[in-house]
Structure 1
């Protein structure tokens, strides 16, 4: 048996940290753990943010985070796990982007970092301390990675585009209502 390398230990530490954070966030959404809103609260929040329908969006985000995070921690199907995480974080980035980059102002820094870590792990692989290694890399192949990242990218574009459309329609409806109120007062 060969000795474990620093790279293998580093990948394990990174997978555990990133995956653990994602599991915590996902279980907040799905089950209300760690002070989260659970499915009901998350569904309302998702709907408010323009992700419709809210419940389905909450389930998808929660599973993307908790499931992708668990797969990263285990080092199983790492290319697919990285793609799921990157795609899920693209949705979160779309919410935070209007506030700029830095988290201190509500920006997208944190979900971008998690997404980039998922992307990097999906590309690099999990290392030897992983279920991918134990299963002979059956679910850790370049073709799986290419397919998973393509599906995740298409899904993220679809979700973010739909969200932007919902927000535009809401803003147009609010502007129309404001104009109607002004006309009703005779101030126009």
Structure 2
């Protein structure tokens, strides 16, 4: 078990992975804060739970899990604690969002306020690329993962 935990925490000492981790953490946290706190144009937790259940038949438990991952998980990703794990969960959220909501609107975001009422999945692909880097390489230098695995040295 300890060996598996060490594998999850392992990371490269390259600081460029930290840049990806910080950026992803900030962006995903902003989305989570909209859902959790109702700030930055969001509607808050109760509205999100009700809307997702009504629009997409998402059980409330799953909506709460998404809110937790996008808020608390994003903060933990930002500081680099269990980076691979939180990135993996964010990746699952992105895949489900594309399949459940965004794929039908096509590739592009609705930048020019076209008559369509939805957004494409280009943003989600960028997030998934960042997720893959973190899952494969870890959170990089300046992460708690790096500190924990290298504190003996």
Shorter-chain TM-score bucket reads 0.7 to 0.9
TM-score in terms of structure 2 length = 0.76
Rounded Cα–Cα distance in structure 2 between residues aligned with 1:130 and 1:81 = 13
In the alignment, does 2:103 pair up with 1:79?
Answer: no
Q: Tell me, which stretches of 5 or more residues in structure 2 are unaligned?
A: 1-12, 111-117
**Is residue 82–residue 120 contact of structure 1 (8 Å, CA) maintained in 2?**
no
Pairing partner for 1:43 from 49, 59, 81: 49
Rounded Cα–Cα distance in structure 2 between residues aligned with 1:65 and 1:26 = 4
User: Does 1 or 2 have the higher relative contact order (CA < 8 Å, sep 6+)?
Assistant: 2
In the alignment, does 2:19 pair up with 1:18?
Answer: no
Match of 1:109?
A: 122
Normalized per residue, the structure richer in helix is: 1
User: What secondary structure, in the 3-state scheme, does the structure 1 residue paired with 2:72 have?
Assistant: helix
In the alignment, does 2:74 pair up with 1:69?
Answer: yes
Deviations 1:25-72 (A, max 9, x none): 01111121222111111112212331332x323212211222332222
The structure with the larger Rg is: 1
Aligned residue-pair number: 131
Pairing partner for 1:126 from 121, 124, 139: 139
RMSD: 2.0
